[in-house]
């Protein structure tokens, strides 16, 4: 489901012109969507679409309104998983400012769509952002997130090059690594 698609067509289908940042996840303080909103506020002309629902939804909506960003930032609510590939394929950047993660699926799904990520250096982030084409690891501040997004937008990489960063996370690769690990445990 997650693979590169024509970004211009995907953006047009969403009614977006210009640079697009996408964020997805539960709307909870831990995920840091408010920081991503503040980062986008610092980037004139950049739009942000946030997919997800949760207890922070009303606070985030109020934040968007108070910051005067209703024309550039939208809360999409919860989306069915099957709609995420189109959303991620339209984005120039996927940003998530988590305070804590393991290895977030959305990171790998974005890369598989050819969309670089700007994420905080938590959990398995270094496994995912292992090359410049994959995106940027940033501090958990609006300034650092904005700088990471600006850098990715200023230095775009081909979608196929970005998608290569997700290749090691396929079911086939995971199966091979698990098999090798289990085989190594067998004393024979």
pLDDT tens for 44-75 read 999 999 999 999 999 999 999 999 999 999 99
Between 111 and 183, the higher pLDDT residue: 111
User: CA–CA separation, 117 vs 142, rounded Å?
Assistant: 15
3-state secondary structure string across 23-57: EECCCCHHHCHHHHHHHHHCCCCCEEEEECCCCCH
Q: Measure Cα distances from 91 to 33, 130, 166, 177 in Å.
A: 16, 20, 16, 31
pLDDT of residue 142: 98
pLDDT of residue 182: 72
pLDDT tens string 95-136: 999 999 988 899 999 999 999 999 999 998 999 999 999 999
Q: What is the pTM of this model?
A: 0.89
pLDDT tens string 17-35: 999 999 999 999 999 999 9
The domains found in the chain, sorted by start residue, are 7-185 (3.40.50.2000)
pLDDT tens string 163-178: 999 988 765 655 666 6
What kind and span of H or E run contains 95?
strand 93-96
């Amino acid at each position: 489901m997650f693979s590169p698609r024509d970004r211009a067509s995907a953006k047009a289908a969403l009614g977006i012109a210009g640079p697009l940042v996408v964020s997805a996840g539960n709307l909870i303080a831990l995920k840091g969507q408010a920081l991503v909103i503040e980062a986008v506020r610092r980037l004139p002309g950049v739009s942000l679409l946030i997919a997800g629902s949760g207890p922070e939804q009303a606070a985030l909506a109020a934040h968007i309104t108070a910051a005067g960003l209703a024309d550039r930032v939208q809360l999409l609510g919860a989306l069915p998983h099957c709609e995420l590939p189109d959303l991620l394929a339209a984005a120039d950047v996927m940003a998530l400012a988590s305070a804590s993660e393991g290895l977030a699926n959305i990171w790998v799904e974005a890369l598989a769509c050819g969309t670089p990520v700007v994420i905080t250096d938590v959990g398995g982030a270094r496994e995912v952002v292992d090359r410049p084409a994959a995106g940027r690891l940033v501090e958990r501040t609006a300034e650092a997130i904005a700088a990471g997004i600006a850098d990715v937008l200023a230095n775009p990489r081909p979608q196929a090059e970005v998608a290569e960063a997700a290749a090691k996370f396929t079911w086939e690769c995971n199966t091979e690594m698990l098999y090798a690990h289990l085989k190594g445990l067998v004393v024979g």
